[in-house]
């Protein structure tokens, strides 16, 4: 018999159930999927896919960075914030 070991992990129950349904449609068990994943890591010398944030998350992050830079620049230049501007205009 081959030298084997056990892998234990914790995950969200709903995620496991959802993935188990998909794996069953492919004729795989969770154990099969984990073995395949590990084998691909071994063959690729790393993860077999690119890790990146979804475009929406990146766009929101970039927008917030730009807004913060604009706000900081406005403060440095002595600009009024929106509420101060509205107050001065009687809005």
CA of 46: how far to CAs of 5, 10, 42, 54, 61, in Å? 21, 22, 7, 21, 27
Give 68-85 pLDDT, tens digit per residue: 887 777 777 777 677 887
Nearest to 23 by CA among 83, 70, 15: 15
Confidence of residue 89 (pLDDT cuts 50, 70, 90): confident
Structure tokens at 6: 């056990």
Could you tell me the pTM of the whole model?
0.56
**What radius of gyration, in Å, describes the C-alpha atoms of the chain?**
26
Cα–Cα distance for residue pair 39/34, rounded to 1 Å: 9
């Amino acid at each position: 018999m081959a030298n084997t070991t056990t892998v234990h992990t914790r995950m969200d129950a709903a995620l496991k159930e959802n993935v188990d349904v998909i794996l069953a449609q492919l004729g795989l068990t969770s154990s099969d999927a984990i073995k395949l994943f590990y084998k691909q890591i071994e063959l690729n010398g790393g993860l077999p896919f690119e890790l990146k944030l979804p475009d929406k998350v990146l766009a929101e992050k970039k927008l917030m960075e730009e807004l913060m830079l604009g706000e900081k620049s406005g403060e440095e230049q002595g600009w009024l914030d929106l509420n101060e501007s509205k107050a001065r205009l009687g809005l």
